[in-house]
Structure formats: C-alpha cells, structure tokens
Structure 1
Amino acid sequence: MALGDTDGNRDGGSNNGKGNGLLLYYYHYSFYSQKVLMALHEKKLEFKSHTVMIRKGEQYQPWFLQINPRGEVPVLKDGVKIIPDSSRIIDYLEDNFSNGNSRRLIPLDQGPGIKQKVLHFRNILDQLPTDVITLGSFYNPDFCQNPKPPFIKPVRKLMMAADQNSCQNLKKCAEKNPEHKEILVQKAEVHERRHNIVTSKEEYSKVIDLVNSVLMEVETELGSHDQEKSDWWLCCDQFTVADISLAVLLDRLKCLGLEHRFWVPHRPHLGKYFSKVQERDSFVASIPSGITHLGEVAKLGYPVSLVMGTVTVVAAAITLFFYLQRRR
C-alpha cells in the first residue's frame, strides 16, 4: 500500500478497516483532520482515507454515526479499533507507531524538561477553541483583514447559515437516530452555547485575547532560542506534536485574516517560524492547496465570475512558484 491518501468508497468505506492497516475518516478543511494528517505524514505511516463530506452533512448519516455517534471527524480505524478525536488519535499513533521509520513526536531522548515543554505547549494550543475562533470571525468581521481561501465571502455566508440551523438540524437528526439521541441532543446544546459566544462581540473578544496570550508565550519561547538553537522548532531541534498544533493553528488564523492581529509584523519570531513550517513536507501534504480551493468553489456552484477570479489567483501563484524555482 502506498504512503499517503487514497479515498475509500462512497458507501462509507465499508470495504476498508476490517483487516490490517490504518483508515482515516476526515475532511480536508477540518482543522482537527489536518492535525492528524500532519502526524501521519510526520511519522511516515501508510494509511487509507475516506473523505466525509461535511458540507453535505454526511457526518450525520447513519453509516457514519455507527462509527462516531458524535458525528465528528477525524476518526481513525486500525483494524477493528475505532479511535475518535484528533488528540486521542495522535496519542494512539505515538503509543503504537513510534519505531523504525516512524519517529516519535514527543521526544524521550532529550530529557524530561523538553518533554514537559512539548506537552505544555501542546496543551495550551489544543485548548484554544478553534471552532469558535473560526465562526466568530465571520460574525465579527471587524477583527479580520483580508480573509483568504477557503474562507471567502460566499463560504462564510454558507457556514453562518449552517451554524444558525445547526441546533434544529441536530435535534431532527436525534429523532431519526434514536440510538444516538442522547449524544446528539447534548451536542445541540453545545452548539447553542457556542452560537451565543460567536455572535457576541464582547465574548468573541475574550476568545481573541486568549489566543493572543497563548501566542505571546509562543513568541517568547521562540525568541529565547539563541544562535546555537536558531534552527530549532518550537521546543527543540525535533518537530513535535506541539509544532503540529501550532502550524495548523497559524494556517487557520492566516486564512481567517487574523495574522495581522497576532504576528504581522509585531511578532517576528512567529512570522519566521510560520514561513519555515509552510515549507515542511507534512504541512504541504496536509493543508489544502489553491487547486483544492478552486475545486470546492466549483462544487458549491458559485458564479462563474468568482470561479474565474479564483482561477486567476491560482494561475498567478503557480506562475510565481515556477519563476522562483528557476531562480534557485
């Protein structure tokens, strides 16, 4: 089986995950799916994948609720084992696939101090409510400057509409799936509380302040690396789980148009770090490209003018890329 990402059947991947091997249920724009993808690529693990079409509500189809009653991606299957939640998946990979070519993402050979630092930064980064940060930026556009694909204006409108209907739709789904009713009703209540936060400028401002305080600590750590540590990542010379959490977070903030608030230009170490991490193979393999954005625009049936505008941007980016390659 080749290393990487080969989509399963559209019946829910029913022919996969029954024998040996890893099968990832994911969605390429899911923040948490991207973290797991980065971990898989960092550990150089072979895996199959099945895209769960979140924008079509496929996560609430009966076949997927049997896999994860919460209707959330990512989910990892290892044979008959089912592991939901990105943090649990990454811990599972670390515990079971950390030998040979599959290196550790929580280093054990650099002393307890480095390990504790990795776990600390992973913890404070993973506690940030990325779903609230994302949706809140749509309801509170004054916080953002120049949102980038995939979060262009039509996408933001669709996501706000989905958010406004989420509680009602979850309750309907609960009635149709009585065996999962309790979990889905609880999730509807969580969505309602989240909606109250993302639509309140005051509450969203508190979330932004929390992100700012975490990234301030990250900037301080990066700035503490002296000349001998100039090639370090966040915590050490190895790329760790903390770097995965930070890399995917920074990309999400950039796409939302929040980079000016958090690191451009007042946190130069963070900016330098993000430029460096974007060149890493696992990042490139895990974060959707301009071509992927274009495909999504076309699938959603946006006006031709918008699609063509996206094509122009992508074409310009490709031209610039090859121009820069020739100059190296």
Structure 2
Amino acid sequence: MPTNSKKMEFYDSIINQLPVGALSLGSFIHDDLKLTPKPPFIGPIRKSCLKNNEKVYELLKRSIEDAETNKSGLLRKLDIQDRRKRLIQSRVEFQKILDAVNNVLRYIDNDFKENPGREWLISNEYSLADISFGLLLHRLYQLGFENYYWAYGKLPYVESYFLRFKKRPTYQKLMPSNFKILKDIWQNTPANYKIGAGAGFLGMAMFAALAHK
C-alpha cells in the first residue's frame, strides 16, 4: 500500500502530464463532441484562441528563418507546436487526448469506489493533490466536458467529488477568474496581432469579464 506522500506524487504526476492546453484548443474545433462550454470559453474567444495559436506557429517559423543563433531551441519549440497542431486538428489524434483524460478520471473514480467513505483524493484530509485535480475538473467543466466525462452516472464518484470541491469556501479563491484567463490569452497573443480584429473581440471580452469580476 503506497504511503500518502507517494500517492500524492503519483496523482500530481498523472494529472499534471495531461495536455490540457491541447484539449482546450481541440474542443473548439470538433463540434461532434456536442460540448456545453461556459464563459469565458464561448463565442469569439474560441476563435481568438485558435487564431493566436496559429499566429504563434507562424511567428516561430519566421523566427527560425531569420535567426542567426539559437536555431536549435527555436526548432524544438516549433516541433512542439507542430505536434500540438496535428493533435488538435486530427479527430483521430484528438481522440487520444480525450481518452488519456478519461483514463485518469476512470482510475480516480475506481479508486474512490474501492475506498468508500474517503472524502478526498489521498485521504479524508484535503491536500495539494486535490487542488490539482479540482482545477482539472473545473477546466473540463468550463470547456463543457462534464456530460462527456462524468455526468449522468458515467463517473459517479468523480461527479460527487467535484460537487464537494465546489462547496469548499476556498473554491472561488482557487479558481482563476474569467478576467485572469482572458488576460493570460491576451499576454500570449503575438504583439503584431494585438492590433487586428481578434484583439477587438478579446478586448471587449476582457472588459465584460472585468465588469463581472
């Protein structure tokens, strides 16, 4: 039986290795999933995120062409972006990401099933692993994956866990606000794109999010 510290390391490892960024972008592309996204991942923000990702890819390619030094580092970054692009655009490849997330959720659901009465991920005491897992579930919920993964009895222990997690007094403090998420998107937008049409959508969305912080 693994110790609590070993179990925490294990859960942190499998949760943090999930490609949440690629999952987010892919969810904006594949409409057959019939997701129910929540703010801020709705409307033009989805298109802006995809355009930003494409702009970063194009800027990396141009930077490599112009670079006189550090080409190897830029090539590694481009390779990561290239693999990510293939993963999110191909429905077959994207399914592998969906399945990887599902495998983790099913493993955790089964772990709760085999340990009835345990309230949190490691024990009855709330831990750092719960923050990681709770943040993952919150992002999946914002992207609209709850029906795909755990609702309607698919993963009842995960569903119950998320309900408990949302009831914690610190839940709102832990969760990044819509404004914070949009701010991060804005900061990752290439500078020469911030004057384009996509910036208008992001700017309006940031203003709306700020008004409702």
Structure-2-length-normalised TM-score: 0.77
For residues 249-303 of structure 1, the C-alpha deviation after alignment (integer angstroms, 9 at most, x for no partner) is: 1111111111111111222221121122223355422323357679989982448
User: Larger C-alpha radius of gyration, 1 or 2?
Assistant: 1
Structure (1 or 2) with the greater helix fraction: 2
Q: 1:52-94 CA deviation, whole Å, 9 max, x = no partner?
A: xxxxxxxxxxxxxxxxxxxxxxxxxxxxxxxxxxxxxxxxxxx
**C-alpha RMSD over aligned residues:** 3.2
Task: Find the counterpart in structure 2 of residue 146 from structure 1.
Answer: 36
C-alpha distance 127-224 of structure 1, shift in aligned 2 (>3 A): same
For 1:208, what is the secondary structure of its paired residue?
helix
Q: Which residue of 1 aligns with 2:165?
A: 277
Q: Does 1:254 align with 2:144?
A: no
Which structure 1 segments of 5+ residues have no match? 1-110, 319-328
Specify which structure has the higher proportion of strand: 1
User: How many residues are treated as equivalent by the alignment?
Assistant: 197
Describe the shift of the 1:204–1:255 C-alpha distance in structure 2 as closer, same or farther (beyond 3 A). Answer: same
TM-score calculated relative to the size of structure 1: 0.52
Matches within 5 A, 1:1-328: 112-173=2-63, 180-227=70-117, 229=118, 232-265=119-152, 266-289=154-177, 300-302=202-204, 307=208
Higher mean C-alpha displacement, 234-243 vs 248-257: 234-243
Secondary structure at 1:209 match in 2:
helix
Contact kept in structure 1, 2:45 and 2:201, CA below 8 Å: no
Change (3 A) 1:132 1:291: closer
Q: Using the alignment, how far apart are the partners of 1:290 and 1:164 within structure 2?
A: 23
Return the letter of the residue paired with 1:252.
R
- Cα distance in 2 between the residues matched to 1:113 and 1:294: 39
Q: Is the 8 A contact 2:48 2:202 kept in 1?
A: no
Percent pairwise identity: 30
5+ residue gaps, structure 2? 187-198
Answer 1 or 2: higher relative contact order, Cα 8 Å, separation at least 6: 2
Deviations 1:229-255 (A, max 9, x none): 3xx211112223321221111111111
Give SS of 1:239's match: coil
